[in-house]
Structure 1
């Protein structure tokens, strides 16, 4: 689970390891850095969290990234500490400690001492972000892995920001003409316009798109273009290319030598009541441009990270598979697609993950509700059963399905029958390849095969509903 380097300590974990806390060697500085990471909350300005607002996830603002379990005296003498993870995946680090949290459904074997690949995590991100990453090899260093993920998120965050319009702010401009519309600069007038030739030197304050923040975005675009992966991501689709063109057109005086100055000017995050999405874009740009300084310890005591909610990622990934089947996907955090539980009170609104009117309700569960490695069935939690039964009753639907990842190779459907009214609930698993030796390209091929089988099982559930 861990590789050793001369200067840096890399620790690879899986999410939701409540039943099996990871043990790592305990040294003074490493333990202190881990303690700092554990105490950071997701509202920290040094961390990038996706979705860009933690309100879009099921994670609370005060959620700790990891939890350090108190060791007994005997364990302390052995110089080990135990780390417990929650529903958060991604990368986080401080000084010489780099913590990487993979999906628990990834094959985490590290044969030959190599860092685990995390193919499933990359695959879900590529599907959700609509990026073709079949040429990406995920066995790169921790530095490259984090930078690759930052690159992947850039088009999405850029387009979300530009959907609010091109950012503009007041800037001072100097002019020298006969259309005075600002404060006259006497010294410059004497220097440039004496003897008088009909022009007056003045300066004015105007709203402009040609500002430091959009120059920061332009510098990030040019930086990403320097790598083959980055060029592929920026050219991935027409919307991304058009967004980049907008930024390029409004920054005609871009100069690469200005990069350090622009970064310094943009260190304070904007807090604009209208351009709310630009704050996440600014944080992402700063993380990309300052990535090497952070990774190599030039910014002492500065934490960094890219984190996302595993349940959110799994649900959004399933949406890419179910959308062609015309499933409705309500979004509770945006208040869209909700259904009133009671006719008389509009305050009790329910948000099923997916449903088809009058046919089926689907609940996305990023849990081990499928069969395990040995093919043993796991029981669904009582609370989850009650939740989906509520959805079924309210929507007058007799078929419910749980959709979850599986590490079992065989196809399976686990049924639950409800009473004598022909209502049933099934657990349908999507098999995740468990071969650590697979190249990412081969992993994608295996996943596409498993997705086809998975969709066939969902369609079969729909067909069985039509026959009732």
Structure 2
């Protein structure tokens, strides 16, 4: 089995069996070399090609088929020694590939993972925790899906379960609705004290109830704390049926006409997560040992982008914070779209950022390792240049935003000009996670980050 974290990279490693994450190390990799007989080079396309795998994306346009999941290369430098190159990408999850179990987890503390998930669900309270800590028995991708499902269900249920009008037949002493003439003539003459009637009433949609209940039971069976939705579970138990929740039932629930009602629209996302949970559980139960791959996978970089975007939206309510799709050369065959992750705009003031869920320890020429990727560097400059060329727009600043794993130093991260243009600042910034053990530390670093952005804006506004 391979156990590691996202964005792990190491080259020319001679013995990888006992690499452990220590206080001063930002990496973790553990494996038994006897279990790894072949080199591995697994991309997202490879993972998705097997129908037994479940991939969850927060933003459909961000994950690319050639994205790296894990690379493992064994080679021999001399007659006696074998060496290894190992690298992982922005994906976390647990799956099996050619009978090798692979477990990729977040390189950051669980508290930060929950903080990002809360923001993705528009929950900004400091002490919200839907469930417990991920353990060795449950992989991180499952944890994320369970967390998102439970939190979205709790919010959606505030307005009740989706309902639709259903025709209900009665045969009682009192008439409910209107008399059902055909049944009355057929069954109630001569009169025996009961009247056949029919009424139209709003009832919970059975497929939706069954799908939600099934997902809740699976989460509970995986030893997750469902205290926050215990009352919802009780309600679902009351109205559930005993039929098997098949793919047909799931599809009917997801495509229910009741979800077209804006009040019940939040259940679309809830049911999407429920389908991941149920299908994944079915695959586990039906696993026959012959499948070459199986598992869950989540793009954690998308979650980080959502988190930073919503943090800026929350702290800058007077600013528009969006991710626009800009089409260039519309009339030419070589037309392209550029999509900056974050564009902040207030009147004619503009800030342009890209989020990068990559290692940031401020390593550059002195270390021989470039934490700022060359492609990322020139891409963000092209975005900024586009806005600089728009009339009547004042580009205050632009740059790259990371989860930072070293003490932040503004002097080496903020440039007072962009390509010599003193009107625009270029920055490398983000959320410092050197000490992210508690929610208090994370909130403190969020405030520090917001404060630096406010100072950039204040150069022109104050």
- TM-score over 0.5 for the pair: yes
Classify the secondary structure of the residue corresponding to 1:59: coil
Q: Counterpart in 2 of 1:330?
A: 322
Aligned residues: 412
1 CA distance for matches of 2:66 and 2:244? 33
Cα offsets for 1:69-117 (capped at 9, x unmatched): 5655889x999986643333344457975533344xx35xxxxxxxxx5
Distance 1:152 1:309, change over 3 A: same
Q: Counterpart in 1 of 2:447?
A: 452
2 CA distance for matches of 1:201 and 1:265? 36
2 CA distance for matches of 1:156 and 1:390? 39
Alignment of 1:225-264 (within 5 A): 229-232=225-228, 234=229, 248=235, 253-254=238-239, 261-264=243-246
Q: Counterpart in 2 of 1:461?
A: 456
Q: As a proportion of its length, which structure holds more strand?
A: 2
Q: Counterpart in 1 of 2:117?
A: 125
Question: Which residue of 71, 85, 94 maps to 2:88?
Answer: 85
In the alignment, structure 2 segments of 5+ residues that lack a partner are 14-28
1 CA distance for matches of 2:135 and 2:237? 36
Alignment of 1:21-420 (within 5 A): 24-25=31-32, 39-41=46-48, 44=51, 46-51=53-58, 55=60, 57-60=61-64, 62-63=65-66, 66-68=69-71, 71-72=74-75, 84-93=87-96, 98-103=101-106, 106=107, 119-129=111-121, 130=123, 132-133=127-128, 138=133, 140-143=135-138, 145-155=140-150, 157-158=152-153, 176=171, 197=192, 209-221=204-216, 229-232=225-228, 234=229, 248=235, 253-254=238-239, 261-264=243-246, 269-270=251-252, 272=255, 275=259, 281-282=270-271, 284-288=273-277, 299-300=287-288, 301=291, 303-310=294-301, 312-323=302-313, 324-326=315-317, 327-332=319-324, 352=340, 353-357=342-346, 358-366=348-356, 371-372=361-362, 381-394=377-390, 396-402=393-399, 403-412=401-410, 413-415=413-415, 417-418=417-418
Classify the secondary structure of the residue corresponding to 1:263: coil
Using the size of structure 1 for normalisation, the TM-score is 0.65
Kept after mapping to 2: 8 A contact 1:184/1:201: yes
In the alignment, structure 1 segments of 5+ residues that lack a partner are 1-8, 108-116, 236-240, 333-337
2 CA distance for matches of 1:38 and 1:418? 37
Kept after mapping to 2: 8 A contact 1:68/1:83: yes
Cα offsets for 1:213-270 (capped at 9, x unmatched): 32221344466679774324x49xxxxx9xx59x94xx68435xx56x3434756644
Kept after mapping to 1: 8 A contact 2:130/2:150: no
Classify the secondary structure of the residue corresponding to 2:102: strand
Using the size of structure 2 for normalisation, the TM-score is 0.65
Classify the secondary structure of the residue corresponding to 2:397: strand
Q: CA deviation at 1:17?
A: 4.5
Q: CA deviation at 1:430?
A: 2.9
Kept after mapping to 2: 8 A contact 1:216/1:285: yes
Cα offsets for 1:20-72 (capped at 9, x unmatched): 99785456798699979972228957414132xx53x3113x45663555655
Q: CA deviation at 1:415?
A: 0.5
RMSD: 5.4
2 CA distance for matches of 1:252 and 1:317? 34
